[in-house]
Amino acid sequence: MARYRVGDKYLSESEYEEHVSGNWKLGLFLIGAIVVGCFVNSWLSGFELTKAVRVTLVLIAAIPSGYLASKLSNLARIAFGLAILGIVGWLVLSVIWNLL
Protein backbone atom coordinates (compact mmCIF):
# COMPACT_ATOMS: atom_id res chain seq x y z
CA MET A 1 0.00 0.00 0.00
CA ALA A 2 1.48 3.30 -1.06
CA ARG A 3 1.67 6.23 1.33
CA TYR A 4 2.09 9.81 0.12
CA ARG A 5 3.40 12.64 2.24
CA VAL A 6 1.52 15.92 1.89
CA GLY A 7 2.66 18.58 4.32
CA ASP A 8 2.73 16.99 7.77
CA LYS A 9 0.34 14.16 6.88
CA TYR A 10 0.71 10.77 5.26
CA LEU A 11 -2.13 9.93 2.89
CA SER A 12 -3.24 6.64 1.43
CA GLU A 13 -3.53 6.30 -2.32
CA SER A 14 -7.25 7.12 -2.38
CA GLU A 15 -6.79 10.08 -0.02
CA TYR A 16 -3.95 11.37 -2.16
CA GLU A 17 -6.05 11.07 -5.34
CA GLU A 18 -8.83 13.00 -3.59
CA HIS A 19 -6.30 15.66 -2.56
CA VAL A 20 -4.93 16.02 -6.11
CA SER A 21 -8.46 16.08 -7.54
CA GLY A 22 -9.41 18.84 -5.09
CA ASN A 23 -6.40 20.88 -6.16
CA TRP A 24 -7.33 20.49 -9.83
CA LYS A 25 -10.94 21.47 -9.09
CA LEU A 26 -9.87 24.60 -7.20
CA GLY A 27 -7.42 25.62 -9.93
CA LEU A 28 -9.94 25.06 -12.71
CA PHE A 29 -12.63 26.93 -10.78
CA LEU A 30 -10.34 29.95 -10.43
CA ILE A 31 -9.17 29.82 -14.06
CA GLY A 32 -12.72 29.41 -15.40
CA ALA A 33 -14.13 32.17 -13.23
CA ILE A 34 -11.32 34.61 -14.04
CA VAL A 35 -11.36 33.98 -17.79
CA VAL A 36 -15.15 34.26 -18.12
CA GLY A 37 -15.17 37.24 -15.75
CA CYS A 38 -12.63 39.06 -17.91
CA PHE A 39 -14.58 38.31 -21.10
CA VAL A 40 -17.89 39.41 -19.59
CA ASN A 41 -16.30 42.55 -18.16
CA SER A 42 -14.77 43.51 -21.51
CA TRP A 43 -18.10 42.80 -23.25
CA LEU A 44 -20.03 44.89 -20.71
CA SER A 45 -17.62 47.82 -21.01
CA GLY A 46 -19.43 48.83 -24.21
CA PHE A 47 -22.64 49.45 -22.25
CA GLU A 48 -23.18 52.36 -19.93
CA LEU A 49 -23.79 50.50 -16.70
CA THR A 50 -22.97 51.44 -13.13
CA LYS A 51 -20.05 49.71 -11.52
CA ALA A 52 -22.27 47.79 -9.09
CA VAL A 53 -24.38 46.37 -11.94
CA ARG A 54 -21.27 45.37 -13.91
CA VAL A 55 -19.71 43.62 -10.89
CA THR A 56 -22.97 41.79 -10.23
CA LEU A 57 -23.28 40.64 -13.84
CA VAL A 58 -19.65 39.55 -13.94
CA LEU A 59 -20.10 37.51 -10.76
CA ILE A 60 -23.36 35.99 -12.04
CA ALA A 61 -21.48 34.77 -15.12
CA ALA A 62 -18.13 33.88 -13.52
CA ILE A 63 -19.22 31.75 -10.58
CA PRO A 64 -21.31 29.21 -12.54
CA SER A 65 -18.64 28.95 -15.24
CA GLY A 66 -15.99 28.28 -12.59
CA TYR A 67 -18.26 25.63 -11.08
CA LEU A 68 -18.72 24.01 -14.49
CA ALA A 69 -14.96 24.03 -15.07
CA SER A 70 -14.41 22.34 -11.71
CA LYS A 71 -17.00 19.69 -12.55
CA LEU A 72 -15.10 18.92 -15.77
CA SER A 73 -11.79 18.52 -13.92
CA ASN A 74 -11.35 14.83 -14.79
CA LEU A 75 -11.82 15.58 -18.48
CA ALA A 76 -9.42 18.53 -18.20
CA ARG A 77 -6.78 16.32 -16.54
CA ILE A 78 -7.02 13.82 -19.39
CA ALA A 79 -6.88 16.58 -22.03
CA PHE A 80 -3.88 18.19 -20.30
CA GLY A 81 -2.07 14.85 -20.18
CA LEU A 82 -2.78 14.18 -23.84
CA ALA A 83 -1.57 17.67 -24.75
CA ILE A 84 1.72 17.12 -22.91
CA LEU A 85 2.09 13.71 -24.55
CA GLY A 86 1.41 15.27 -27.97
CA ILE A 87 3.98 18.01 -27.42
CA VAL A 88 6.63 15.52 -26.34
CA GLY A 89 5.81 13.28 -29.31
CA TRP A 90 5.98 16.22 -31.70
CA LEU A 91 9.36 17.29 -30.29
CA VAL A 92 10.78 13.78 -30.60
CA LEU A 93 9.50 13.39 -34.16
CA SER A 94 10.78 16.83 -35.17
CA VAL A 95 14.25 16.01 -33.83
CA ILE A 96 14.23 12.70 -35.72
CA TRP A 97 12.99 14.47 -38.88
CA ASN A 98 15.75 17.09 -38.69
CA LEU A 99 18.45 14.44 -38.17
CA LEU A 100 17.46 12.49 -41.26
Tell me the pLDDT tens digit for each residue of 59-69.
999 999 999 99
The chain-wide mean pLDDT, for the chain, equals 93
* Domain-wise residue ranges, the chain: 3-73
DSSP 65-83: HHHHHHHTHHHHHHHHHHH
Q: Which of 12-16, 59-63, 86-90 has the lowest mean pLDDT?
A: 12-16
User: How many degrees, rounded to 5, is the angle at CA 83 between CA 38 and CA 70?
Assistant: 45
pLDDT, position 3: 85
Among the listed residues 32, 30, 1, the one whose alpha carbon sits nearest the alpha carbon of residue 15? 1
pLDDT, position 81: 95
Distance CA 31, CA 38 (A): 11
Is residue 1 pLDDT above 80, yes or no?
Answer: no
